[in-house]
Amino acid sequence: MRNVLITGASRGIGAETARLFAENGDNVYINYCSSVQAAETLQWSLTQKGFSAKTIKADVSSSDSVQQMFADIEKDCGGIDVLVNNAGIAQIKLFTDITNDEWDKMVATNLSSVFYCCRAALPYMIRQKFGRIVNISSMWGQVGGSCEVHYSAVKAGIIGLTKALAMEEGLSGITVNCVAPGVITTDMTAHLTEDDLKALKDETATGTLGTPYDIARTVLFLADHHSSFITGQVFGINGGSVL
């Protein structure tokens, strides 16, 4: 049984990823910051089915909070074998209207959090000569998105961090990969109109939007023991909207 930490796991992609890892027989830590009810409901639904899942609160944009989370996990199970950096926020706004605070929050939540969690997870992974890190970026980190400059910038930063860290940790038996989702049907798309959703579907080769399951299945594959020859890669799960 592997110990798996998924950040931002109370809903959407994170929740579906937690479910798949738990069903795979892993011991899953469901990280959340403010969505306590959603996290506890997910944990309850998994444990009721006989799976191993625990909630753990931490603000992953804070180095101190991340350090405390990993200290608590170390006391509980020894360390994390698989880290999925999923926590993130999005915002649509003209570049010239982005405030300093909005920029700083975007960087802290989406990019600094990945740095903090990887840094905290690696000592245990290096000691045991095994680890799997999967970072969730975005297709906008690959191609850039109008009115999402700050979001695109930090998601591109995740891709750069992934590639560099993979080079550094490969000899320690640790793989580091990145998943770049396209438009996925989650809470982040719930505000869109039917016309908006149709336009987004029309931009894909498949004529469909993605689901959290599409992303979670890819993450589970990359975290497998048999995926040891895959590292430093970016997997675009976007229905062919970015080729």
Could you confirm whether 29 is annotated as catalytic? no
- CB burial of residue 37 (10 Å; 0-12, 13-18, 19+): exposed
Answer yes or no: is 206 within a domain. Answer: no
pLDDT at position 2, please? 97
Alpha-carbon torsion (36, 42, 45, 48), positive or negative: negative
Answer yes or no: is 73 within a domain. Answer: yes
pLDDT at position 199, please? 87
**CA distances for 127 relative to 12, 23, 81, 174, 225, angstroms:** 33, 27, 11, 11, 17
Q: Which residues sit opposite 175 in a β-bridge?
A: 132
> How far apart are the C-alpha atoms of 94 and 67, rounded to whole Å?
35
Total count of domains within the chain: 1
Residue 200, Cβ neighbours under 10 Å: how many? Answer: 17
Answer yes or no: is 194 within a domain. Answer: no
pLDDT at position 190, please? 73
Catalytic residue among 116, 124, 151, 213: 151
Domain range for 226: 3-183+218-236
Positions in the chain short of pLDDT 50: none
pLDDT at position 195, please? 86
Answer yes or no: is 189 within a domain. Answer: no
pLDDT at position 97, please? 98
Residue 208 region, left (φ>0) first, then alpha (ψ -120 to 50), else beta?
beta
Answer yes or no: is 188 within a domain. Answer: no
Q: What CATH number is associated with residue 59?
A: 3.40.50.720
Give residue-wise pLDDT tens across range 181-209. Answer: 999 998 777 777 888 888 889 999 999 99
Answer yes or no: is 74 within a domain. Answer: yes
